Structure 1
Amino acid sequence: MSDTFVVTLTLLVAQAVRFGWDPNAPVSGPSAPPYWFVSIAIAALWLVNLTLMRSREPRILGHGGQEFQRVLSASWYTFAIIAIIGFLTQWQISRGYLLFALPLGTVALCIYRAAWRAWIHAQRDAGELQAQVLVAGPFRTSEQMIRRLRRAPRAGYNVIGVCLPARRRDGLADDLADIPILGDIDDAVTQAQRVGAEYILLSGNDDVSLAEARRLGWGLEGTGIGLIVAPAMVDIAGPRVMMSPVEGLPLMHVDPAEFTGGKYLAKSIADRVTSALLLLFAGLPMLVIAALIRLTSSGPVLFRQERIGRNGELFRMLKFRSMYVDAEARLADLRPASDGNDVLFKMKDDPRVTAVGKFLRRFSIDELPQLLNVFKGDMSLVGPRPPLPSEAEAWDDRVFRRQLVKPGMTGLWQVSGRSDLSWDESVRLDLYYTENWSLGGDFLIMLRTVAAVLGRRGAY
């Protein structure tokens, strides 16, 4: 219903702004209809595309970026179809009307979806709107799966039991002791019906043969219980995955991650153009901030720090100075009181932060000078967090993969909790971004950054 309301209201406003309140304003061209007919047709086409793109599927609502990507795709297809129809019929639909209606409607749809998502998140945080799941699979894989689902309650899956291989009779790890072991994997369908599970999540390998997995799928027919299959590979996004059936066996083709080529050139151009525009827009406020820093504490306006960039190259990252000039000398004494994770030092009430610096940090304003790093090419608008050389000394080859792309002003870890995240979770998010980034995903991360900054979660 909210999609219908937003699309209808947007087109009414677009027509009123462009043509006034005359519903019979005609479209230019041979046998062209009035604009009221065009508005109704566009609204119907838009809503159909939103449905065809499956933007309202329960499995994507409230979690991940697919929902917003599908809304953007539906809007783009609507615009493309209208352009084709206009070309074929020679109807000259007002460009001002279209350029007002479609972008405004797309933004409004995303805002409404974000509002609904906030409500869904609040409900799921309270334990509501959770799909009841029974996990079936090997012992260790099942434990890992349950932990991941528990770390992401907003995904909407509540594990109510687990079925393990017959030879495993010992209990789960201590942190999972509240999850009951309901029986063998062969009993998964019966147990799922008994406990009221809505899904069986199958995480199989040698303990679950192809024939057993197929029988499990057959056993679910007519029960109303869904089957979710977790692949052996993790942290791989959809654009890199293609399914192909071979003798009834669904093979998952995973494209290798690419770190060069036209896509990266497009990202670099977009970074530099956008950073230049943002610097023009933020130039005067940045001068005011610089003056406040100089007037309230001694020391330089900018803080320059050596960081590791793409492919391990060093660069000087810029920030507004938010600490007193002796901050580095006082770090050793404060390290035992760190509120951050095991690797990064963070302190919620850091005495080294100036009064102006507290405000700058709370809203991430201190990072605005990094737009100069982006324009220069050392950084990207979106990417992994730029690490200190001292942090990288203990890294293994797995963590170094995050440096295959440029570090960013914002990224997945920033919009997922920032300083509240553990080191392992921060690394996992940065690696996921490195392997799977896209321009569309970057745009969504930037939108989420605005919400994260305003919400001030993990900012200190």
Structure 2
Amino acid sequence: MPHAPTTRPARTPVIREQPPAGRRTGKPAWYAPAAVLGDAAAAGAPVWAAFAPVDGRNAAAYAIVAALAWLLVRAARDRYAERRLGERDNVGPALKDWPVLVGLLAVVRAATGEESPFLLALAALVPCAPVSAAVHTLIHRHLLARRRSGQAVRRALVIGEAEAVDGLVSHLAKRTDHEFVVVGVCPIGDEDPHDLAPVAARLRRQAPPRMSADSAPVLEAARRLGVDVVVVVPGPHLSGVRLRRLSWALHGAQCPLVVVPGLTEVAGRRVGVSSVAGLTLLNVAPPARRGLRALLKAVTDRLGAALLIALLSPLFAAVALAVRLDSPGPVVHRQTRIGRGQVPFTMAKFRTMVADAELLRHQLAGTNENDGRMFKMRRDPRVTRVGRVLRRYSLDELPQLFNILRGDMSLVGPRPPLPDEVAGYDEVELRRLAVKPGLTGLWQVSGRSDLSWDETIALDLRYVDNWSPTGDLRVLVRTVRAVIAGTGAY
């Protein structure tokens, strides 16, 4: 019997609990010592373990040198600064620092005439980057947990026109993985913002002749609310000279200033700051589509798919036999999907539904539980008994490894859409087709079918605009956890 459609409740912003003014809201003091000790152990312990059996007399010295060199590299690259500790899991920075460590130790080796086995020394340094990344990831997760409970945050006062203030405060309120808790707003003009944060002061729409007319109410509000930072959203009535003068007053009072440029979902590595003719410019690099990193992705996709097919061949055979015995019909279901550049291709999956599932879909059109163009039902009557198990653990997706070998798909990317879904895309949604669809991706590791259409599109666009090799690696690691948990798989 068809199930009634499920209406997903709209997400409403919820302001995090505000820490009282005067309470220390910084990061825990143990983050830096933990990071330093973790990095030292990540470099020193493997080196000692590798050399102790062959050169026990010098193993400790080698370990100390490796640990000090790794700490020097990390410190020189500002990895222990409070503003950075815990803000990300540090996989990318650790991988970037590792070649510098190898080069530094090679110079030390040449300068001192050290004759220890080179390959052994190199192998001993291999665990250094992943172990350090794991240490910083634990710190990152601890920081996220504290921020979800309103700790390790900064009390922020937001300045801007009412509509811009509403947009920023609402955006910040929807997430808890950042450091800002808005404790008040200063709208420009007479229009009132929504009641997401109290109005602490109000600025004139036109720039006043005296600086104090802007700075006095802002500084008074900042003092009264005990804010840690002032966040400004520039606009037609707050830009250029007026913003510069306000910054003078804030910095004179030792109050940090953050300016929101209006860009969203742009990775920090793509943004650079420069100064031209006295103007501060944000340089936004285009997404990586060509060059060495794109070549690396293509090679990794093909080699990874070939290796997985070879390793999982017994599983392929077992699943194929289970599908054949469970219900009549072909073992592999082939379906037209749309790939990069709106080019159609034939995607393969192990069959999880009855043979005439496509014909029955029209009868179930009114039972779609997804709020967008994807058709999803938690208890789809067309799914077979074996099919439910395959979907639960994403085993039905395995034949797509052959699509990756042919170059139609990638290991990581957006979900491959159906032609009728693409027919209804707008120009924003079409951007998700700028890259190859993936066997897994941010959608799959963030909730899959439990996500709304808007959430799915937002995740896909974030991937399209900010793809990186380390980002792919993180998605692949999270995929293992998502498959085991089975969240959103139906």
TM range (shorter): 0.7 to 0.9
CA shift, 1:104, in A, is 1.8
DSSP-derived class of the 1:449 partner: helix
Would the aligned equivalents of 2:42 and 2:132 in 1 still touch at CA under 8 Å? no
DSSP-derived class of the 2:126 partner: helix
Matching residue of 2:74? 50
CA shift, 1:379, in A, is 0.6
CA distance in structure 1 between the aligned counterparts of 2:299 and 2:446, rounded to whole angstroms: 26
CA shift, 1:452, in A, is 3.3
Unaligned runs of 5+ in 2: 1-32, 204-213
Letter in 1 for 2:51: F
Matching residue of 2:276? 246
CA distance in structure 1 between the aligned counterparts of 2:268 and 2:43, rounded to whole angstroms: 33
Alignment of 1:349-360 (within 5 A): 349-360=379-390
Is 1:91 matched with 2:102?
A: no
Letter in 2 for 1:178: L
Letter in 1 for 2:325: L
Alignment partner of 2:327 out of 271, 276, 297: 297
Provide, for residues 357-400 of structure 1, a one-character-per-residue CA deviation record: whole Å limited to 9, x for no partner.
33332332322221111111001112222111111111122222
Alignment partner of 1:154 out of 141, 159, 177: 177
Matching residue of 1:38? 62
Alignment of 1:56-455 (within 5 A): 56-57=80-81, 59-60=83-84, 67-168=90-191, 170-172=192-194, 177-185=195-203, 186=214, 187-221=217-251, 225-257=255-287, 259-455=289-485
Letter in 2 for 1:155: H
Between 433-442 and 373-382, report the one with greater CA deviation: 433-442
Q: Label 1:92 to 1:455 Cα distance change in 2 as closer, same or farther (>3 A).
A: farther
Would the aligned equivalents of 2:404 and 2:411 in 1 still touch at CA under 8 Å? yes
Between 183-192 and 255-264, report the one with greater CA deviation: 255-264
CA distance in structure 2 between the aligned counterparts of 1:63 and 1:339, rounded to whole angstroms: 36
CA shift, 1:272, in A, is 0.9
Letter in 2 for 1:412: L
Q: Label 1:215 to 1:342 Cα distance change in 2 as closer, same or farther (>3 A).
A: same
Provide, for residues 299-321 of structure 1, a one-character-per-residue CA deviation record: whole Å limited to 9, x for no partner.
32222221111111101112222
Q: Label 1:47 to 1:416 Cα distance change in 2 as closer, same or farther (>3 A).
A: farther
Would the aligned equivalents of 2:47 and 2:62 in 1 still touch at CA under 8 Å? no
Would the aligned equivalents of 2:429 and 2:457 in 1 still touch at CA under 8 Å? yes
Q: Label 1:397 to 1:439 Cα distance change in 2 as closer, same or farther (>3 A).
A: same
CA distance in structure 1 between the aligned counterparts of 2:371 and 2:116, rounded to whole angstroms: 56
DSSP-derived class of the 1:184 partner: coil
> After TM superposition, which residue ranges in structure 1, 4 or more long, deviate above 6 angstroms?
none
CA distance in structure 2 between the aligned counterparts of 1:343 and 1:63, rounded to whole angstroms: 35
Would the aligned equivalents of 1:341 and 1:421 in 2 still touch at CA under 8 Å? no
Q: Label 1:280 to 1:162 Cα distance change in 2 as closer, same or farther (>3 A).
A: same
DSSP-derived class of the 1:381 partner: strand
CA distance in structure 1 between the aligned counterparts of 2:315 and 2:336, rounded to whole angstroms: 26
Q: Label 1:447 to 1:233 Cα distance change in 2 as closer, same or farther (>3 A).
A: same
DSSP-derived class of the 2:200 partner: strand
Q: Which has the bigger relative contact order, CA under 8 A and spacing at least 6?
A: 2
CA shift, 1:16, in A, is 5.0
Q: Label 1:417 to 1:156 Cα distance change in 2 as closer, same or farther (>3 A).
A: farther
Would the aligned equivalents of 1:162 and 1:180 in 2 still touch at CA under 8 Å? yes
CA distance in structure 2 between the aligned counterparts of 1:333 and 1:101, rounded to whole angstroms: 61
Letter in 2 for 1:363: Y
CA shift, 1:413, in A, is 2.9
Q: Label 1:378 to 1:77 Cα distance change in 2 as closer, same or farther (>3 A).
A: same
Q: Label 1:320 to 1:253 Cα distance change in 2 as closer, same or farther (>3 A).
A: same
CA distance in structure 2 between the aligned counterparts of 1:157 and 1:40, rounded to whole angstroms: 40
CA distance in structure 1 between the aligned counterparts of 2:292 and 2:51, rounded to whole angstroms: 42
Matched positions, count = 446
Letter in 1 for 2:373: V
Matching residue of 2:8? none
Is 1:3 matched with 2:35?
A: yes
CA shift, 1:23, in A, is 6.8
Unaligned runs of 5+ in 1: 26-33
Q: TM-score, normalised by structure 2?
A: 0.81
Would the aligned equivalents of 1:45 and 1:78 in 2 still touch at CA under 8 Å? yes
Would the aligned equivalents of 1:308 and 1:389 in 2 still touch at CA under 8 Å? yes
CA shift, 1:450, in A, is 2.9
Letter in 1 for 2:52: G
CA distance in structure 2 between the aligned counterparts of 1:57 and 1:287, rounded to whole angstroms: 52
What's the % identity of the aligned pairs? 35
CA distance in structure 2 between the aligned counterparts of 1:392 and 1:113, rounded to whole angstroms: 40
Would the aligned equivalents of 1:18 and 1:96 in 2 still touch at CA under 8 Å? no
DSSP-derived class of the 1:392 partner: helix
DSSP-derived class of the 1:353 partner: coil
Would the aligned equivalents of 1:6 and 1:105 in 2 still touch at CA under 8 Å? no
Would the aligned equivalents of 2:337 and 2:419 in 1 still touch at CA under 8 Å? yes
Provide, for residues 391-431 of structure 1, a one-character-per-residue CA deviation record: whole Å limited to 9, x for no partner.
11111222222212211122233333333333223223322
CA distance in structure 2 between the aligned counterparts of 1:417 and 1:215, rounded to whole angstroms: 46
Would the aligned equivalents of 2:155 and 2:227 in 1 still touch at CA under 8 Å? yes
CA shift, 1:258, in A, is 5.8
Would the aligned equivalents of 1:307 and 1:389 in 2 still touch at CA under 8 Å? yes
CA shift, 1:41, in A, is 1.6
Letter in 2 for 1:387: P
DSSP-derived class of the 1:155 partner: coil
Q: Label 1:262 to 1:105 Cα distance change in 2 as closer, same or farther (>3 A).
A: closer
CA distance in structure 2 between the aligned counterparts of 1:149 and 1:429, rounded to whole angstroms: 17
CA distance in structure 2 between the aligned counterparts of 1:63 and 1:459, rounded to whole angstroms: 30
CA distance in structure 1 between the aligned counterparts of 2:95 and 2:129, rounded to whole angstroms: 7
Would the aligned equivalents of 1:363 and 1:453 in 2 still touch at CA under 8 Å? yes
Between 385-394 and 123-132, report the one with greater CA deviation: 123-132
